[in-house]
């Protein structure tokens, strides 16, 4: 198994990524629960605190208004000891206590208070829904995952769940190692975010990625990595996806295609990959590009001591061949121009690309495509696209890569990866 998958997948498991922090809980309760506003609404509905606790509740309300949270709780506890309390009295006491405890950042006590308040059955339907949502967030933040799952499903069933609510529910199930439900709610959260015109949160895909990794589901991992790349275009996701795809590839021609994607996405981070790519480029009669690849590996410090002697020998050999290609470019250009088939023009364009002459690469490859009779049409479109990328002609690059889908017998894996790469251009 690829070890980086676990690093990617574990990060969201150990933190709430801003979903359910204490600060977020405090902000939510301040938004949803205002004791003063609640009392005003209840008076309009003909509901009032019993006289038996009027003194304590008045003192508690004044303490809340003065931000004296501990004093408010003291008065509320005194009210709680009185006899003859009705459901409305109890609900109000517990509701005020929950508010004060959140202000004190005692979220476990706040959760207990709001649970007691909702158990009285005295909330209006609207306030009951708000309190249920608060309890969902509080229980999740307090790591009461089974309880959070139940509250979260109630919020979702009510139709009031936001994309963030659904995302928390996905994480709750993920932390309970329930990958089936985690994936189900992640998909709902992603859909809700898109419907709201927002970008889905990255960790939703990470839950799915880790679950696929734990299950040994390589196709599932690849599918999620594609989604992560579309969302973030991060090199670590590219690297992991390309390593998965490379493990399944047995053809040198297609392997080199995968290395080109890895190189162009800056996701190649192992010296051995650079060496193998350079060797394959050398075998494909592209020594100048191979030289560039090896020099980048060496300048980046990716070649270890055991690899240096072998790499230096390979580099010297490639340099000699690349110099010969450069000297023969004018002659090759003349021969390609006169040739009625496009094969030689495409090879010329690949050589131009290797020496960094991207405009001539575009000219030669386009000429070859017009003539047709090209052995590796997939390479023609790829090098045309790469040259346009180097020239910062994004629209033309996308058009070139789109030509791959019309290539007979093109590798589905190669096609998928270059289309994905083209999709990230211009971001």
With 0.95 as the threshold, say if the pTM is over it: no
Note the pLDDT of residue 16: 45
Residue 19 DSSP one-character state: S
Query: Residue 319 phi/psi, 5° resolution?
Result: -60, -45
Q: Whose structure tokens read 């405009």?
A: 359
In the structure, how many helices (H) and strands (E) does the chain have? Answer: 24, 0
Note the pLDDT of residue 397: 97
Please, which pLDDT band fits residue 48 given cuts at 50, 70 and 90?
confident
Residue 51 DSSP one-character state: G
Note the pLDDT of residue 34: 57
CA distance linking residue 64 with residue 72, whole number of Å: 6
Long-range contacts at 294-297 (CB < 8 A, ≥ 24 apart): 294/318, 297/271
Tokens representing residue 55 in the block: 């003194």
Note the pLDDT of residue 14: 45
Note the pLDDT of residue 28: 56
Percent of the chain with pLDDT strictly greater than 90: 82
Q: What is the pLDDT of residues 352-398, one digit of tens each?
A: 999 999 999 999 999 999 999 999 999 999 999 999 999 999 999 99
- With 50 as the cut, is the pLDDT of residue 37 above it? no
Q: Whose structure tokens read 């249920």?
A: 132
Q: What is the pLDDT of residues 281-335, one digit of tens each?
A: 999 999 999 999 999 999 999 988 898 999 999 999 999 999 999 999 999 999 9
Note the pLDDT of residue 24: 52
User: What distance, in Å, lies between the first and last C-alpha atoms of the chain?
Assistant: 31
Please report which helix (H) or strand (E) contains residue 297, including its range.
Answer: helix 287-299
- With 50 as the cut, is the pLDDT of residue 94 above it? yes
Q: Whose structure tokens read 């995952």?
A: 145
Domains assigned to the chain:
18-160 (1.25.40), 251-424 (1.25.40.10)
Percent of the chain with pLDDT strictly greater than 70: 89
- With 60 as the cut, is the pLDDT of residue 52 above it? yes
As a whole number of Å, the CA-based R_g of the chain is: 32
Note the pLDDT of residue 33: 55
SS3 422: helix
Q: What is the pLDDT of residues 76-93, one digit of tens each?
A: 999 999 999 999 999 999
CB atoms within 10 A of CB 304: 11
104: CB partners within 8 A, 6+ apart = 69, 70, 73
Please, which pLDDT band fits residue 50 given cuts at 50, 70 and 90?
confident
| Mean pLDDT in residue range 266-281 | 94
């Amino acid at each position: 198994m690829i070890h980086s998958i676990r690093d990617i997948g574990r990060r969201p498991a150990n933190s709430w990524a801003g979903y359910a922090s204490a600060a977020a809980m405090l902000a939510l309760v301040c938004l949803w629960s205002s004791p003063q506003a609640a009392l005003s609404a209840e008076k309009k509905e003909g509901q009032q605190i019993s006289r038996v606790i009027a003194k304590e509740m008045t003192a508690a309300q004044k303490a809340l208004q003065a931000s004296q949270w501990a004093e408010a709780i003291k008065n509320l506890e005194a009210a709680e000891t009185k006899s003859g309390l009705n459901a409305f009295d109890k609900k109000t006491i517990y509701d005020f206590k929950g508010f004060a405890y959140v202000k004190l950042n005692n979220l476990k006590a706040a959760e207990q208070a709001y649970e007691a308040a909702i158990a009285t059955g005295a909330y209006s339907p609207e306030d009951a829904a708000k309190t249920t949502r608060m309890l969902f967030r509080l229980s999740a933040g307090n790591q009461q995952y089974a309880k959070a799952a139940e509250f979260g499903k109630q919020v979702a069933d009510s139709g009031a769940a936001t994309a963030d609510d659904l995302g928390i529910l996905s994480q709750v199930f993920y932390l309970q190692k329930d990958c089936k439900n985690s994936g189900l709610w992640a998909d709902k959260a992603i859909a809700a975010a898109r419907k709201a015109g927002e970008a889905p949160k990255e960790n939703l895909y990470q839950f799915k990625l880790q679950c696929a990794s734990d299950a040994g589901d390589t196709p599932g991992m690849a599918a999620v990595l594609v989604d992560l790349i579309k969302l973030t275009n991060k090199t670590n996701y590219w690297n992991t996806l390309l390593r998965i795809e490379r493990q399944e590839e047995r053809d040198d021609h297609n392997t080199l295609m995968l290395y080109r994607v890895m190189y162009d996405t800056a996701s190649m981070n192992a010296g051995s990959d650079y060496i193998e790519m350079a060797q394959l480029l050398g075998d494909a009669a592209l020594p100048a590009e191979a030289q560039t690849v090896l020099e980048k590996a060496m300048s980046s410090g990716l070649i270890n001591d055991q690899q240096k002697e072998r790499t230096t020998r390979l580099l010297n050999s490639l340099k000699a061949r690349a110099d010969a290609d450069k000297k023969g470019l004018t002659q090759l250009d003349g021969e390609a121009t006169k040739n009625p088939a496009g094969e030689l023009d495409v090879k010329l364009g690949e050589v131009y690309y290797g020496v960094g002459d991207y405009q001539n690469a575009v000219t030669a490859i386009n000429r070859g495509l017009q003539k047709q009779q090209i052995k590796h049409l997939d390479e023609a479109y790829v090098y045309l696209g790469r040259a346009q990328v180097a020239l910062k002609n994004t629209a033309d690059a996308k058009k070139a890569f789109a030509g791959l889908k019309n290539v007979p017998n093109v590798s589905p894996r190669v096609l998928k990866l270059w289309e994905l790469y083209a999709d990230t251009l211009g971001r």
